[in-house]
A and B are shown apart, each in its own frame.
Chain A
Amino acid sequence: DQQVKQNSPSLSVQEGRISILNCDYTNSMFDYFLWYKKYPAEGPTFLISISSIKDKNEDGRFTVFLNKSAKHLSLHIVPSQPGDSAVYFCAASAWSGGYNKLIFGAGTRLAVHP
């Protein structure tokens, strides 16, 4: 049973336009949501996060929106750049046994083309 779902395995966007990556979750106990970016042959790197008490968090070109009632979050990248081409993982965090347990979605491969 996947608690975090990224239903689009891939997304292709033109350079300069907006990229929107979506994520749905099922567990209402999640209290933080994070986005990670992964290049081939590298580990995931933390990109941006949002607390469940907020509905928006912005960091430069990256904005994450959270809709708790719909159990949905999205990552907006504006403007998209070729260097943004990577796999993006959505992750949800729940406090469990003294640490933040992260549960990941399957990832969306973003391709930004000129």
Chain B
Amino acid sequence: DTEVTQTPKHLVMGMTNKKSLKCEQHMGHRAMYWYKQKAKKPPELMFVYSYEKLSINESVPSRFSPECPNSSLLNLHLHALQPEDSALYLCASSQVGGFRVPSGYTFGSGTRLTVV
């Protein structure tokens, strides 16, 4: 299995809703990432998990709450979002090693989130 699976593919939520985005991989990767991509902009890193522990939080507002329950799963819990949070949310995974392996990340197809 060489895929990263993200669900749902599309999500519309109100500003008072609570929802979660899910990401799953079975490649044995121990680093997982959340990226946010707005239209015509580059993907921007939000969070990095390494060995199921949060390694990097790129100053993301607390209305986004990541969770890594095990080595295959990564969730992003959403609460009290704003319309400007509407974007494509991409999950990715990669190896974590003591040496650099720039084979790149494996990305999921993303969740298109619309906040109304």
Name B21-69 residues within 8 Å CB distance of A: 31, 40-45, 48, 50, 55-56
Cα A49 to Cα B50 with chains together (Å): 23
- In which size bucket is the chain B interface? 20 to 34
B55 touches A101 (CB 8 A): no
Name A18-47 residues within 8 Å CB distance of B: 31-32, 34, 36, 41-46
Minimum CB–CB distance from B1 to chain A (whole Å) comes to: 15
Q: Please give, as numbers and ranges, the residues of chain A lying within 8 Å of B4 by CB-CB distance.
A: 43
Q: Please give, as numbers and ranges, the residues of chain B lying within 8 Å of A99 by CB-CB distance.
A: 31, 48, 50, 55-56, 94, 96
B76 within 8 A of A: no
- In which size bucket is the chain A interface? 20 to 34
Residues on B facing A (Cβ under 8 Å): 4, 6, 9, 31, 40-45, 48, 50, 55-56, 90, 92, 94, 96, 100, 102-110
